[in-house]
């Protein structure tokens, strides 16, 4: 399913680009054609974003199965015809957990029923974990991972729909670039039309671009809760992989509201700490390379937010000791990278660290100094080798 959706998306994108290039020369000469072209581009972008949302479990590192020191590990049940994907759907306990998590995402936090549904989901998760059965552990993994992916996609969509200024949209980094911003207003019109049609056929009304009961802050807080539950069950790797891939959300979060930034900083700090302890003992060379790329992607995506985000509105989101702990974790992860990738990560850190006068964290000065020492030694070694060859 996941592979099929990506093939469909890539095929649609290729055909669209080919058609758009052919149409561009004509559209530039006529204003009406240019307007039609912009509308069609926005509509196609909307469809392309819809395709991966139908497969929330897709992620380029999904084949990478990681373990954590001291974590409970298990294998998917075999011999009974129940696969890792189906186990959360074929049995009542999986459907019960999935339903409770889905309802929890729809109910406003202010409702007293929210705590009831959340407590019910917590009890199902804990009871499944306490049984120690591989099948029940797989239920937790499958349903929680799907909920994390779904909530992450909803959060990104909510942040996008709030709108981003052209000066932020055009900033270099991981963002989509200035061309997307020119189409963004048209995309919002298309989305608004879809929302009206949805409510006409009986869909739940949307508030501020999101269904009633959902807000960016609520979704981010639920992501933190889901990640903590996944870690407690021994499969934080699923959350880490998906968080590492959320580069667009990380880029948009730099200009998000402080309360939302606080939750994203808290989740990033938590998942960085979890990723540090992934062990490579039984991994193949290909899987080790995937693990390295995942860590690089996570650093490049979320380091800018850590440098620029608010540390709290009413109270600090991270205590002084926790911030020091996260700095140590980041240094240890960076130390596992080769010299070239260390340069890329530390150059990115220095840019954002010095660009934000209101924050002194995370301070990776020690890592930067160590990389400079290593780079200096590499240059001297290279020079010595050249002299030897000349002799």
The lowest-confidence range among 15-19, 206-210, 214-218, 375-379 is 206-210
223 part of a folded domain? yes
Where does a domain end: 12, 33, 55? 55
Same-domain pairing of 146 and 292:
yes
Same-domain pairing of 98 and 64:
yes
**Could you tell me what percent of the chain has a pLDDT over 90?**
42
19 part of a folded domain? yes
Rounded CA separation 32/38 (Å) = 10
What mean pLDDT do residues 184-195 have? 52
Same-domain pairing of 12 and 111:
no
Q: Between 86 and 350, where is the model more confident?
A: 350
Q: Check pLDDT > 60 for residue 379.
A: yes
Same-domain pairing of 377 and 353:
yes
β partners of residue 279? 67
90 part of a folded domain? yes
DSSP class of residue 364 equals -
pLDDT at 68: 60
110 part of a folded domain? yes
Q: Which domain holds residue 267?
A: 56-383
pLDDT at 147: 95
82 part of a folded domain? yes
pLDDT at 288: 85
The lowest-confidence range among 48-52, 75-79, 333-337, 379-383 is 75-79
235 part of a folded domain? yes
Average pLDDT of the chain? 76
Where does a domain end: 20, 40, 55? 55
Same-domain pairing of 158 and 209:
yes
Same-domain pairing of 153 and 257:
yes
Same-domain pairing of 297 and 321:
yes
Same-domain pairing of 133 and 218:
yes
Same-domain pairing of 62 and 110:
yes
pTM for this predicted structure: 0.71
Same-domain pairing of 40 and 60:
no
Same-domain pairing of 220 and 282:
yes
67 part of a folded domain? yes
In the structure, what pLDDT confidence band is assigned to residue 344 with cuts at 50, 70 and 90?
Answer: very high
Where does a domain end: 55, 72, 89? 55
Same-domain pairing of 228 and 308:
yes
389 part of a folded domain? no
How many domains does the structure of the chain reveal? 2
Q: Are strands 210-211 and 206-207 parallel, antiparallel or unpaired?
A: antiparallel
Do the Cβ atoms of 263 and 224 come closer than 8 Å? Answer: yes
What mean pLDDT do residues 322-351 have? 94
Q: Between 142 and 8, where is the model more confident?
A: 142
């Amino acid at each position: 399913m996941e592979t099929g959706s990506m093939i469909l998306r890539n095929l649609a994108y290729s055909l669209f680009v080919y058609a758009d290039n052919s149409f561009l020369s004509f559209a530039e000469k006529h204003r009406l054609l240019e307007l039609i072209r912009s509308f069609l581009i926005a509509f196609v972008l909307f469809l392309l974003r819809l395709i991966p949302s139908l497969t929330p479990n897709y992620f380029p590192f999904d084949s990478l199965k990681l373990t954590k020191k001291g974590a409970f590990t298990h294998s998917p049940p075999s011999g009974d015809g129940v696969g890792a994907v189906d186990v959360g759907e074929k049995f009542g306990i999986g459907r019960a957990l999935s339903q409770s998590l889905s309802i929890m995402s729809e109910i406003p936090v202010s409702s007293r029923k929210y705590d009831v549904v959340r407590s019910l989901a917590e009890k199902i998760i804990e009871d499944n974990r306490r049984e120690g059965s591989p099948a029940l552990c797989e239920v937790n993994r499958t349903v929680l991972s799907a909920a994390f992916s779904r909530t992450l996609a909803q959060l990104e969509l909510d942040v996008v729909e709030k709108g981003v200024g052209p000066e932020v949209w055009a900033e270099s980094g991981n963002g989509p670039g200035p061309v997307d911003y020119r189409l963004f207003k048209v995309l919002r019109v298309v989305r608004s039309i879809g929302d009206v049609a949805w409510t006409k056929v009986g869909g739940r009304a949307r508030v501020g671009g999101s269904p009633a009961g959902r807000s960016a802050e609520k979704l981010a807080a639920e992501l933190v809760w889901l990640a903590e539950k996944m870690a407690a069950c021994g499969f934080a790797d699923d959350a880490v992989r998906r968080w590492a891939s959320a580069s667009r959300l990380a880029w948009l979060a730099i200009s998000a509201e402080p309360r939302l930034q606080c939750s994203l900083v808290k989740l990033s700090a938590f998942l960085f700490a979890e990723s540090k302890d992934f062990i490579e003992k039984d991994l193949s060379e290909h899987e080790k390379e995937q693990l390295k790329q995942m860590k690089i992607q996570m650093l490049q995506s979320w380091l800018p937010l850590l440098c620029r985000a608010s540390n709290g509105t009413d109270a600090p989101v991270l205590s002084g000791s926790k911030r020091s702990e996260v700095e140590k974790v980041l240094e240890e992860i960076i130390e596992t990278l080769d010299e070239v990738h260390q340069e890329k990560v530390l150059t990115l850190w220095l840019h954002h660290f010095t660009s934000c006068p209101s924050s002194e964290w995370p301070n990776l000065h020690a890592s930067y100094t160590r990389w400079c020492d290593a780079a200096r030694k590499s240059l001297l070694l290279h020079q010595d080798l050249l002299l030897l060859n000349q002799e």
